[in-house]
Chain A
Amino acid sequence: QVQLQESGPGLVKPSGTLSLTCAVSGGFIMTNNWWSWVRQPPGKGLEWIGEIYHSGRTSYNPSLKTRVTISIDKSKNQFSLKLTSVTAADTAVYYCARGEVKAATGINRFDPWGQGTLVTVSS
């Protein structure tokens, strides 16, 4: 079965760039799925960051759009997140997840999720 694993620095300085990678194992990234990033600040709810299709098409949360880039590396079966100009408000657990969307049937789901990685923004 498909498994996702996030990796990247756990500490980023303010005004710096947060960079994370999600490795996909047990399946190919070139499937009819959207590959997403979701974050969760400590003690708060889930916030969708954005997603990418294997074609490279992306969609981003409007509140983060100016600072976010999601890319895909089909040769390595992984996708990545870059978030620029970070502040303490970007401190969160960052999850990657596989998304499935079928507009004709109204299906939308995220499964599976990675275990998550805590990124702290601090000097």
Chain B
Amino acid sequence: SSELTQDPAVSVALGQTVRITCQGDSLRNYYASWYQQKPGQAPILVIFGNNNRPSGIPDRFSGSSSAITASLIITGAQAEDEADYYCNSRDSSGDLVIFGGGTKLTVL
């Protein structure tokens, strides 16, 4: 399969921990990378590989993976974390790029 499945919407109380998941067979071969997108802005990379954060990304963002499921974890969610989050991987051949449908995170 060359699809990545995400829950359309997730909510979290301010300061609590939230897990956003991404599921697909392609995750057996490639780690998921995760992107945050706020309204009117381009996506930015927040997690890639085996739980790697680009410089400038707060350490409350982390990632984990197991078999065909990848997770983005926000520990102590802040109001500014409210955004759409997309996972991304490649198909088993490595030739094609796949994006998940996105998860809208609401911080209550």
Contact = CB atoms under 8 A, between A and B. Distances in A.
Interface residues of A, number: 26
Contact of B33 (A45, A105, A109): A109
B43 interface: yes
A107 interface: yes
Contacts of A116: 42
Interface residues of B, number: 26
A26 interface: no
Contact of A101 (B50, B94, B100): B94
B102 A46 contact: yes
A114 B42 contact: yes
B96 A61 contact: yes
Contact of A109 (B42, B49, B102): B49
Contact of A45 (B89, B94, B95, B102): B102
Contact of A46 (B30, B43, B89, B95): B43
Given A45-B102, A62-B96, A99-B97, A108 B90 contact: yes
Interface of B: 29-31, 33, 35, 42-45, 48-50, 54, 86, 88-90, 94-102
Interface of A: 36, 38, 45-48, 51, 59, 61-62, 95, 99, 101, 103, 105-116
